[in-house]
C-alpha cells in the first residue's frame, strides 16, 4: 500500500491533484490507515497513471471520466473509446491550425518591423489595432 505522497511520486502527479481527482470522482475514495492516512493499492496507481497519460494527451476531464467508465467494462466494444479519441484528435488538429495562424501573424508582424522607434513599431501597431491582423480570430 502506498501513501498519497508515494502514489504521487510513482505516478508523477502532485498530491493536491490526487485529492482533486478524488473530489471530482475520477479516483475513488482510498482506504484509510488506523491513523486516517490515505492508502492506495496498485490498481489506484494504474488508474492514476491512466488519468495522467490521458491528461498529457490533452483529453478533458469529462472525456477521461468516460474513458475510465469504459475501461471498467472491458466486455464492451471499443467504439465509444474510439469516438472519444477521434474527438480529441479533431480538437488537437483545430488547435494546431489556430496556432499556425498565430505563428504566421507573429512572423508577419516581426518581418514588417522597421527597427525604428516605438511610434513606428509594427508589433505595437498591430497589437493596438486588431484590424491590421490578417487572421481575425486568434483564440487558442
> Which SS3 state, helix, strand or coil, does residue 120 take?
helix
**Structural domain of residue 113, as residue ranges?**
78-140
**With contact defined as beta carbons under 8 Å apart, do 50 and 71 qualify?**
yes
Q: Are residues 13 and 59 in the same domain?
A: yes
Q: Are residues 131 and 71 in the same domain?
A: no
> Given a cut of 80, is residue 8 above it in pLDDT?
yes
Note if the pTM is more than 0.85.
no
The more confident residue out of 126 and 75 is: 75
- The CATH number of whichever domain residue 56 belongs to comes to 1.10.1660.10
Q: What is the pLDDT of residues 101-122, one digit of tens each?
A: 989 988 888 887 767 777 777 7
Give the Cα separation of 35 and 94 in Å (integer). Answer: 49
- The beta-carbon contacts of 33-38 under 8 Å, at least 24 apart in sequence, are 37/3, 37/4, 38/3, 38/4
Q: Are residues 95 and 60 in the same domain?
A: no
Mean pLDDT score across all residues of the chain: 90
Classify residue 33 by burial, with Cβ atoms within 10 Å: 0-12, 13-18, 19+.
exposed
Q: Are residues 6 and 63 in the same domain?
A: yes
Q: What angle do CA 129, 135, 140 make, to 5 degrees?
A: 100
Residue with cell 469504459: 70
Q: Are residues 102 and 90 in the same domain?
A: yes
Q: Are residues 93 and 136 in the same domain?
A: yes
Q: Are residues 101 and 140 in the same domain?
A: yes
> Given a cut of 90, is residue 28 above it in pLDDT?
yes
Amino acid at each position: 500500500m502506498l501513501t498519497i505522497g508515494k502514489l504521487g511520486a510513482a505516478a508523477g502527479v502532485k498530491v493536491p491533484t490526487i485529492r482533486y481527482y478524488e473530489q471530482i470522482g475520477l479516483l475513488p475514495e482510498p482506504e484509510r490507515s488506523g491513523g486516517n492516512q490515505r492508502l492506495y493499492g496498485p490498481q489506484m496507481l494504474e488508474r492514476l497513471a491512466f488519468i495522467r497519460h490521458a491528461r498529457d494527451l490533452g483529453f478533458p476531464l469529462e472525456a477521461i471520466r468516460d474513458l475510465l467508465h469504459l475501461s471498467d467494462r472491458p466486455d464492451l466494444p471499443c467504439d465509444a473509446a474510439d469516438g472519444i479519441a477521434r474527438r480529441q484528435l479533431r480538437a488537437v488538429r483545430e488547435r494546431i491550425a489556430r496556432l499556425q495562424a498565430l505563428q504566421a501573424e507573429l512572423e508577419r508582424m516581426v518581418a514588417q518591423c522597421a527597427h525604428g522607434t516605438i511610434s513606428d513599431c509594427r508589433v505595437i501597431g498591430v497589437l493596438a489595432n486588431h484590424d491590421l491582423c490578417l487572421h481575425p480570430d486568434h483564440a487558442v
